[in-house]
Amino acid sequence: MRSILSISALVAAASAHTIFQELWVNGVSQGHTTGIRVPNYDGPITDVTSNDVICNGGVNPLNTPLPSAVIDTAMTHHWQSQGHINSPFPSEHEPRTRKQAPSPALIRKLGEPHSDHLNPTNPRNPPTNSIPIQIPAGATVTAEWHHTLAGYSATDGDDPISASHKGPVIAYLAKVPDATAETVTGLSWFKIYADGLDGASGTWAVDKLIDNKGKVDFTIPKCIPAGNYLLRVEIIALHGASTYPGAQLYMECAQINVSGGTGTSVPSGVSFPGAYKTDDPGIVFNLYYPTPTAYTIPGPTVLTC
């Protein structure tokens, strides 16, 4: 028992990080970070009562390439702050060339609270795109996650996410007048996809995500009204969830426009924050002992047309 608890505590201290950074529609990539509200913080949200659980704090577009010198300097300061003052970059954390990176004005200063730059109504966080991703109702969409914004890496053992970060993968939609509008508070979210634990095999949704190189497929319901939506895709990592706040929530939102929806279903939704409670069995969960055979995914049931 002691060894199990020790392993649990050790793993709970780790945050391998992951970012939803690419959306595919019927097998066609819409582009790296295109239409996705990618934050400048790739770590988890652990406070389910915070506005940060909506879209990982809001909009921080990564549209302006950063000079490699700026990235290297930022990484050097980061590792110095972690105690690696006279050490080279650890091999598993070497700076990578990002396909897209935030402009200097959007980089969080070291030591600055995450909630400052990641507030969903922060005026310093402008919308990512002026045109949402076009998706026909009934389409199969694929959310692609990776450990860093450099995308897929065959040499990164934590890509798309550490294998220790087991948990569910969930997708929500919220109908909005304008998917590119900055404010994301006060929306009504309904669940369109959820995958948790297969009790018979012990396989988690995150295990499947890793096997599929960071990709997960789901369908945009045919019965919803046409129009603009935010698509919120989420991973809940449970390696530290035996107490609250320990579950690590990773989420981003994509800006989409759904065409051809019948509108025969106008789903009632839930709010974020509010959909998850601090004592929900899907938020407080012991991943290690006893070996779980069932898991209750938090939030509402999945919409069926």
Map out the domains of the chain as residue ranges: 2-65+115-262
Is the CB of residue 185 less than 8 Å from the CB of residue 111?
A: no
Model's pTM, two decimal places?
Answer: 0.76
- Residue 57, pLDDT score: 66
Angle at 148 between CA 184 and CA 65, to 5 degrees: 80
Mean pLDDT for all residues in the chain:
78
**Model confidence over 102-136: pLDDT tens digits?**
333 232 222 333 333 333 443 323 344 567 999 99
- Residue 258, pLDDT score: 98
Q: Which fold has domain 2-65+115-262?
A: Coagulation Factor XIII; Chain A, domain 1 (2.70.50)
Q: Is 34 helix (H, G, I), strand (E, B) or coil?
A: coil
Strands 197-198 and 203-204, how do they pair?
A: antiparallel
- Residue 295, pLDDT score: 99
Q: What number is the average pLDDT over the span 278-299?
A: 97
**The residue to which tokens 């009204």 are assigned:** 225
Is the CB of residue 155 less than 8 Å from the CB of residue 183?
A: no
**Model confidence over 128-174: pLDDT tens digits?**
456 799 999 999 999 999 999 889 999 999 999 999 999 999 999 99
Query: Rounded to an integer, what distance in angstroms lies between the CA atom of residue 231 and that of residue 173?
Result: 5
| Percent of all residues in the chain with a pLDDT value above 70, rounded to a whole number | 70
Confidence at 43, pLDDT banded by 50, 70, 90: confident
- Residue 39, pLDDT score: 79
Higher pLDDT residue, 184 or 88?
184
**Model confidence over 58-97: pLDDT tens digits?**
444 333 333 343 334 333 333 333 333 333 333 333 333 3
pLDDT at residue 208 greater than cutoff 90: yes
pLDDT at residue 8 greater than cutoff 80: no
